[in-house]
Amino acid sequence: MIWLGQQRNELIRLRIALARRLARFPDVPALERVRWSEKWLELAPFDPAAGQMAFFSLRDLGRHDDASALASRLVRKYRDAGVPIPVLEASVGPPQSTQGGNKESGREPLRQQIQFTLADDRTAIAWARIGDRSKPPLLKAANWLSHLELDWEAPIWSPIFRDLAEDFELVRYDERGCGLSEWSTNSIDFESFVTDLELVADAAGFDRFPLLGISQGAAVCIEYAARHPERVSKLVLFGGYDAGWRHTADPQEQREREAVMVLTEAGWGKDNPAYRQIFTCTFMPDANSEELAWFDDFQRRTTSPKNAVRFLEAFSSIDVRHRLRDVQCPTLVVHSRGDQRIPYATGLNLASQIPNAEFAGIDSRNHLLLGRHPEAKEFVRLVKDFLLRED
């Protein structure tokens, strides 16, 4: 019986070796690579290398939703078993920049490392590092919506992030409940947003660094900067606000906002884009048909209908008005003059309440800047000039 057990184990090892070899074979067709990667993972379920290969083979085949679902399952399984969660590294490829043209031509493509770290409540947070580690750091706080992989293929904002990665070691992450971070989490609230930022800053090994906060990410950055003045060197806020609508809206607007949350839960995951276009038309009214279609599909793939409502509820209750005077670092506030989602006056007020903050307006109606537009180029210039300036 001992001999039989040894032979059985040897057979399993041979099958694992065969699956691993075929999954890694350079000339194997993409679909076959997926099959052999899945077989390798089936035979060696707690081998991080098998998990990595299965994830990337799905992604390379264009099955991003399946890859994201697999990543979530693997993170939970590895976490519960005490197995190291693997680094996911991918070539970002030759990008189009806000400057126009291919900035990576003739150079090694930027490489994105996606890693996972665990919050105190055991929620897995996905974060990514891109750019040369010899360059100055820049940490972008998460803002809804995001997906670390799909973001880099976005026709909308990926040119902005890629341009920033030319001059900085850029770190960003997916909010708990969306993207590659764990969707099944008990807490989606402002406090968890702040502690997740603390978690990623520590995981990245950053000591003192500038923060970039966009939309509700601005409030998260403000709170972090107030709590940790010794760690934040500079602060850039774009399209931000200091208080959610439950603190600022009149009764009529509150009823309208409540109705939107009901519609969101009912229609977020459906094929009909009508519900999601409620957000699209205010996020970026100047988007073309290709960008609108991409963003509609992106919304559906980044989170569940239930979590979408939980996010909207959390954002509605944000209030950092009492923390603005506690921000000690140099701050740049940038806001679109025609922002359809967060009024221009809100950005002006932020700058007036943060000590010695600088303000810059951008000629745009978009809450999320479109990478092909000149205002995206202007935003990147403002950020780089501010962060690289010797004060």
Under CATH, which architecture does the 1-86 domain have? Alpha Horseshoe (1.25)
Residues 110, 92: contact at Cβ < 8 Å? yes
Question: Which pLDDT value is given to residue 172?
Answer: 97
pLDDT digit string, tens, across residues 49-77: 788 788 888 877 878 778 877 887 887 77
- Concatenated DSSP letters of 262-295: HHHHHHTTSS-TTTTHHHHHHH-TT--HHHHHHH
DSSP SS3 for 360: strand
How big is the chain by its Cα radius of gyration, in Å? 22
Positions of the chain with pLDDT lower than 70, given as ranges: 1-7, 9, 87-109, 275
Question: Which pLDDT value is given to residue 353?
Answer: 98
Under CATH, which architecture does the 92-388 domain have? 3-Layer(aba) Sandwich (3.40)
- E-assigned strand segments in the chain: 88-91, 111-118, 124-130, 137-140, 169-173, 209-214, 232-238, 331-336, 358-362
SS in 3 state form for 138-203?
A: EEECCCCCCCHHHHCCCCCCHHHHHHHHCCCEEEEECCCCCCCCCCCCCCCCHHHHHHHHHHHHHH
What span, in angstroms and rounded, lies between the C-alpha atoms of 137 and 168? Answer: 5
Question: Which pLDDT value is given to residue 106?
Answer: 47
Sequence-separated (6 or more) residues with CB below 8 Å from residue 310:
177, 188
Quick one: tokens of 353? Answer: 């309440």
Write down the domain spans for the chain: 1-86, 92-388
Distances (CA, A) of 291 to 111, 191, 288, 298, 304: 25, 33, 5, 10, 21
Question: Which pLDDT value is given to residue 89?
Answer: 59
Residues 89, 115: contact at Cβ < 8 Å? no
